[in-house]
Amino acid sequence: MTTQLWLVAHDLTDLSNAAAAEAAELASNCGGRLLMLHVHPREERAPFERDGKETFAVEEEKRVMLRTIAHRICAQHPGLSVDVEVLPGDPQARILEEAERQSAGHIVVGTHDRKGIKRLVLGSVAEAVVHRATVPVVVVKAPILH
């Protein structure tokens, strides 16, 4: 029996931390494992870079941030395997590509649940993932602040 992978799209926000916590709970209850994926909308190497050191440094900083979050999750869910990955590209497309490449059984995303003009201007990675994914998607909404 293979362990089911839960891919968590993580943009390094508190909302993504909530999505990761929800995914950890679900995965640990069914013997799954997590992959926290951060996709940054940059080319693999910025045009002004000759050797890619700046891009590598930014990616490594984000990877360290994700590892810190992963360690906290593992402390709360002993035995849960959590991996992290930082990749360049269009977040909507890359999340779906990585889910397919990794044979993820589920995708977990957070949403701010924007409406109207804000949604038109900002778009919605979560909505695109929900509509295009070939596996179940768990959507974690931002808490309502009063």
Would residue 128 count as lying in a domain?
A: yes
Residue 26: both structure tokens together: 């679900």
Band the pLDDT of 101: cuts 50, 70, 90. very high
C-beta separation of 7 from 107 below 8 A: yes
Q: Is it the case that residue 114 has pLDDT exceeding 80?
A: no
Helices (H) and strands (E) in the chain, counts: 5, 5
Question: Measured between alpha carbons, how far is 130 from 97 in angstroms, rounded to an integer?
Answer: 14
- Over range 28-33, report the average pLDDT: 93
Would residue 33 count as lying in a domain?
A: yes
Task: Identify the pLDDT of residue 123.
Answer: 53
Band the pLDDT of 3: cuts 50, 70, 90. confident
Domain span including residue 103: 5-141
Task: Identify the pLDDT of residue 124.
Answer: 82
Mean model confidence pLDDT for the chain: 86
- Over range 34-62, report the average pLDDT: 76
Task: Identify the pLDDT of residue 127.
Answer: 86
Would residue 83 count as lying in a domain?
A: yes
Please identify which residue in the block is written with the tokens 């940059």: 42
Count CB-CB contacts under 10 A for residue 56. 13
Would residue 146 count as lying in a domain?
A: no
Would residue 42 count as lying in a domain?
A: yes
**Helix 53-76 with 14-29: angle, nearest 10 deg:** 50
Q: Where are the alpha helices (DSSP H) in the chain?
A: 14-29, 53-76, 91-101, 116-122, 125-132
Would residue 107 count as lying in a domain?
A: yes
Lowest mean pLDDT among 3-17, 60-74, 122-136: 122-136
Q: Is it the case that residue 121 has pLDDT exceeding 50?
A: no
CATH number, domain with residue 24: 3.40.50.620
pTM of the model: 0.85
Would residue 114 count as lying in a domain?
A: yes
Would residue 78 count as lying in a domain?
A: yes
Q: Is it the case that residue 55 has pLDDT exceeding 50?
A: yes
Q: State how many domains the chain has.
A: 1
